[in-house]
Amino acid sequence: MEYLIVSFTHKNTDINTREKLSFGNELEKEAFLKQVLANKYINEAMLISTCNRIELIASVQCCTNASGEILKLFSNRSELEYGDLKERVDIYENKAAIYHLFTVASSLDSLVVGETQIAGQLKDAFKFALDKNFASQKLSRVMNFAFKCAARVRNITHLGTGSVSVASTAVAKAKQLYKNSSGIKALVIGAGEMSELSCRHLLKNGFDVVICSRNIKKARVLAHNIIMDGNGANYKPSQIDVQPYEALEDLLNSMELLVTATSAPYPIIKKEIVKPFEKERNWFDIALPRDIEEMQIAGVNIYSVDDLQCIVDETLELRASQAKEAFSIVGAMTEEFYVWLKTLSVEPLIKNIRLKSDEIIEKKIQNAVKKRFISSEDTTNIEKLCKSIMAEFLHTPTIQLKLVSSSLEGDEILTTTKNLFGIAVDDETTNNYKEIN
């Protein structure tokens, strides 16, 4: 069994490529994962698709064969050339895959280092894979460790504190553009998590907000919740308004600041609906696929996720020392995971040695009774005595096996022990052992 990650992120692809590779809904993810798992080299798989990354995480029999097949499926689905994807993709195998996964979960590989959304997105992706039976024990083991690693990074460092997300970065850029935000209304399209974050950051930075969503009921609930809790900010109802989706065209042609973060599978803002406006407009599109089609219009500045890198670079230096500590935690947790995996392999071996011992004792006692060496009335006591002797005899070897299982020579010693006792313990035997929490 091997671990594999096929990765397309903001580091190796532009937004146009990620748009074609992205998954708009769970039905698309389910269909793709079914295709992936139809391959004989792939045992379990899960898929994460966000504005910054599209990654497939899998347990496979052979990384080389599996990665090639997965790339073909990505190519067929996106209609992107296989050769082009192969040049761009990052392939992580085994220990490198574990390290990368722990890095992602700990928000060290994000566009905005320390952003708080990725752990939740990973949990959602993992739960989806579990619910659909695309993931089982192998991915459960590594994902549980990944979440432990993310929690350890949050608790020991300060990377997760403060407002760090794509939404907060977009608002930080808006604040640079509008030194005085008083009286400026920002149109927020959508009522999901990213829209909520955008609203909160905009209000915190002095902007007023107008929410426009296809689901006006959800938008009203969002506005109500922001006003009611306010995180101590005491926002007034006049600072946040909700408008029907039918008013979208009028709204975007009457306001100078816009943040859009819907889950629409196609652009909802097209060139033909954009009309002249007396002020310069700044539009932030933090959706993937993008909500705003590519256009060049005088007085309209469009910022996509990738355009926010300049803001991100300014914050990296402030977080550099914390990130260094976080990476050391990730490295330590990667080693800890592999040590734990090795200990799993020794438990079935010890169990099988003891079972073989019990079988021999039972067989010899039965033979002794048949040959009248012992009476049937004495078998229970004799069996207890024999098992007690074998338990004491196996005590020291058992302890030594557990100790060496995590050493560099562990695999070789365990293999030799299996051969000495004539025991075949395959990887699936470990399925009976309890998962980590």
Which residues are catalytically annotated?
Answer: 51
**Contact between 305 and 51 (Cβ < 8 Å):** yes
Q: Kindly give, in sequence order, each residue whose CB lies less than 8 Å from that of residue 431, ignoring residues fewer than 6 positions away.
A: 137
For residue 159, what are the CA distances in angstroms to 23, 222, 319? 29, 27, 7
Phi, psi dihedral angles at 180 (to 5 degrees): -110, 100
Phi, psi dihedral angles at 171 (to 5 degrees): -70, -35
What secondary structure does DSSP assign to 187-239, as a single string?
EEE--SHHHHHHHHHHHHTT-EEEEEES-HHHHHHHHHHHHHHGGG----GGG
Displacement of CA 312 from its chain's centroid (Å): 21
CB-CB neighbours of 378 under 10 Å: 13
What secondary structure does DSSP assign to 257-304, as a single string?
EEEE----SS-SB-GGG----SS-EEEEE--SS-SB-----TTEEEEE
Partners of residue 258 on adjacent β-strands: 187, 283
What secondary structure does DSSP assign to 115-150, as a single string?
-SHHHHHHHHHHHHHHHTTS--HHHHHHHHHHHHHH
Displacement of CA 140 from its chain's centroid (Å): 12
AA letter at 252: L
What secondary structure does DSSP assign to 370-413, as a single string?
HTTSS-GGGHHHHHHHHHHHHHHHHHHHHHHHHHHTTSTTHHHH
Q: Kindly give, in sequence order, each residue whose CB lies less than 8 Å from that of residue 132, ignoring residues fewer than 6 positions away.
A: 30, 33
Q: Is 255 helix (H, G, I), strand (E, B) or coil?
A: coil
Angle at 187 between CA 181 and CA 193, to 5 degrees: 105
Report the phi/psi class of residue 70: left, alpha or beta, with left for phi > 0 and alpha for psi in -120 to 50: alpha
**Strand order in 42-49's β-sheet?**
42-49, 53-60, 2-9, 90-93
Q: What residue spans of 38-192 are helical by DSSP H?
A: 63-78, 82-88, 95-105, 117-131, 137-156, 166-177
